[in-house]
Amino acid sequence: MTFTVAPPRTDAALAALLPWPAPDAHKYSRGRLALVAGSPAYPGAACLAATASQRAGAGYTEVFCAGKSLLAVRAASPSLVAQDWRHWQPSRGAALSPDRPGACVIGCGFAGEGKTEGPLVMETLHAFAGPLLVDGGALTLLASATGLRLAAERACAGLPLVLTPHGGEAVRLARAAQLEEGLTGAALARELARAFGAVVALKGPCTYIADGAGVEAMDRGTAALAKAGTGDVLAGIIGALLAQGIGARDSAALGCALHAEAGRAAEEARTAICVVAEDLPSYLPAAVRAIAGR
């Protein structure tokens, strides 16, 4: 089976997507991201995704995390709003409107356990009526018959779904969808996108971004990004772009490019050895400038 992989988008094409705020913008019109993240085992993932979302332009970033993770999230940034994830109500997404856009990211720092996280993931897949990004441990929970069914229902309802697996998570999803063994790279991204009715960003040294219509490559990153937590930062960036009303595939393409450029700017300042995930949000301004050319 042969197919074409589109080359990385040009800076001009990416720059046209950048979400500059309108002069009369307010925090809600700039997009509200609900981030359901940060189990007791991994509060740091919620902090990384949330601070990345703020820097990527979301007007209001609200974290729903485990009660034990609240202090860590609140300490990560004073402008974050944090609540216990028992208060997360996925159905409130139905109140989103063009002048009050929003999105949800679920799974950064989930441990993949079923008792608490399982219902959070399944109810969100079922009831969140806006763009939804599934990452981290929530991908392990999505890799199930119920997850496949709920993803198919979202696709039928025209509700955007973005999946951001690394190689290990992609193999779990492929097994659940009973895809041919041994698929990798662009072919794996494309088949996962078809099986789940989603936009898939299959992460790696070259990231492949696929939907039902095709696949594109994004290879402007650096091995400086090969550190724990950089994927959580990426999820926060793409979630913020979704929350600002950018389409699912464009959000994935622009988010991956901004993440890669932030990695390169961080490497320039700190060396490929020393960059850590928490550096990346502070290099997003350099990434925006690199892509915007100003």
Ligand X SMILES: Nc1ncnc2c1ncn2[C@@H]1O[C@H](COP(=O)(O)OP(=O)(O)O)[C@@H](O)[C@H]1O
Ligand Y SMILES: NC(=O)C1=CN([C@@H]2O[C@H](COP(=O)(O)OP(=O)(O)OC[C@H]3O[C@@H](n4cnc5c(N)ncnc54)[C@H](OP(=O)(O)O)[C@@H]3O)[C@@H](O)[C@H]2O)[C@@H](O)CC1
Binding site residues, ligand Y, CB under 6 A = 42, 44-45, 108-110, 136-137, 166-169, 204, 228-229, 231-232
The answer to whether 281 and 77 are in contact (CB under 8 A) is no
Q: How far is the CB of 42 from ligand Y (least distance, A)?
A: 3
Residue 236, interface with ligand X (CB under 6 A)? no
78 DSSP 8-state letter: T
294 CA to centre of own chain: 26
Q: How far is the CB of 235 from ligand Y (least distance, A)?
A: 8
Total of chain residues touching ligand X, rule CB under 6 A: 17
What backbone phi and psi angles, to 5 degrees, belong to 103?
A: -160, 170
Compute the CA torsion angle 17, 52, 165, 221 (nearest 10 deg): 70
The answer to whether 235 and 193 are in contact (CB under 8 A) is no
Asked whether residue 166 is marked as a ligand-binding residue, the answer is yes
Binding letters toward ligand X, positions 183-212, x by CB under 6 A: --------------------xxx-x-----
Alpha helix stretches (DSSP H) within the chain: 11-15, 43-55, 70-76, 117-127, 137-142, 145-156, 167-176, 185-196, 230-243, 248-274, 284-292
Applying CB under 6 A, among 95, 223, 269, 274 the residue interacting with ligand X is 223
216 CA to centre of own chain: 17
First to last CA, the chain: 42
Residue closer to ligand Y (CB basis): 109 or 239: 109
Residue 61, interface with ligand X (CB under 6 A)? no
d(CA 236, CA 24): 25
Q: Which of 31, 73, 83, 27 is nearest to 50 (CA)?
A: 73
Q: How far is the CB of 279 from ligand X (least distance, A)?
A: 13
Residue 230, interface with ligand X (CB under 6 A)? yes
Residue closer to ligand Y (CB basis): 131 or 136: 136
The answer to whether 289 and 20 are in contact (CB under 8 A) is no
Residue corresponding to tokens 């609240």: 70
The item of ligand Y, ligand X, none sharing an interface with residue 225, based on CB under 5 to 8 Å by kind, is: ligand X
Q: Which of 23, 57, 47 is nearest to 245 (CA)?
A: 57
Residue closer to ligand X (CB basis): 169 or 250: 169
The item of ligand X, ligand Y, none sharing an interface with residue 196, based on CB under 5 to 8 Å by kind, is: none
Asked whether residue 232 is marked as a ligand-binding residue, the answer is yes
Q: How far is the CB of 113 from ligand X (least distance, A)?
A: 17
Residue closer to ligand Y (CB basis): 44 or 147: 44
Asked whether residue 118 is marked as a ligand-binding residue, the answer is no
Asked whether residue 247 is marked as a ligand-binding residue, the answer is no
Applying CB under 6 A, among 166, 172, 194, 270 the residue interacting with ligand X is 166
Helix, strand and coil in the chain, % to nearest 5: 50, 15, 35
In DSSP terms, which residues pair with 103 in a beta bridge? 33
Residue 225, interface with ligand X (CB under 6 A)? yes
Which residues contribute to the annotated binding site? 45, 109, 166, 203-207, 231-232
Binding residues vs ligand X (CB under 6 A): 166, 203-205, 207, 221-223, 225-226, 228-232, 234, 259
Which residues contribute to the annotated binding site for (6S)-NADPHX? 45, 109, 166, 232
